[in-house]
Amino acid sequence: NSNQHAITPCQIGKMRSNLARVGSRQRDLLVKTWCDLKLDRDLYIDSSYHLKGSRDVEGNIILLPGAQLRISCRLSMPAGSEIVVHHGAELILDGARIHNDCGKKWKGIRILRKGKNMGLVYFGAIPIIENTEKPLNFRVS
């Protein structure tokens, strides 16, 4: 514009990238609301969804029957949270890094079973799962 006060979509993308990059000066300015679990912030996935950009979530991630979630980025889970894969749902870890950005422990991935049906977890590129009691903390219940 004539005043040159507008921010371009490219500039907005660079700002978002710097805010999401672990260790950046810009990220250090953020209030870390994603460190501890907030049950009212749970994410329910009921269709197909692909996470491609870094995310910091504040609640559990729950994949409902029929859902598919592909994670191909850095994902920070809050302390005490978990990713729940219901029977009939699919979780695809494709080069994902899942951790707690504050160095606290999160519960890991829980696979639910109903009769002979259970949630499925697939691996594309090797994932990195950190800050759990076990590197891959799969539990069937």
Which pLDDT tens digit goes with each residue over 47-60?
999 999 889 999 99
- Report yes or no: 45 and 64 within 8 Å, Cβ to Cβ: yes
In this prediction the pTM is 0.83
Burial bucket for residue 77 (CB in 10 Å: 0-12, 13-18, 19+): buried
pLDDT in tens, 59-101: 999 999 999 999 999 999 999 999 999 999 999 999 999 999 8
Give the separation between CA 64 and CA 2, rounded to whole angstroms: 50
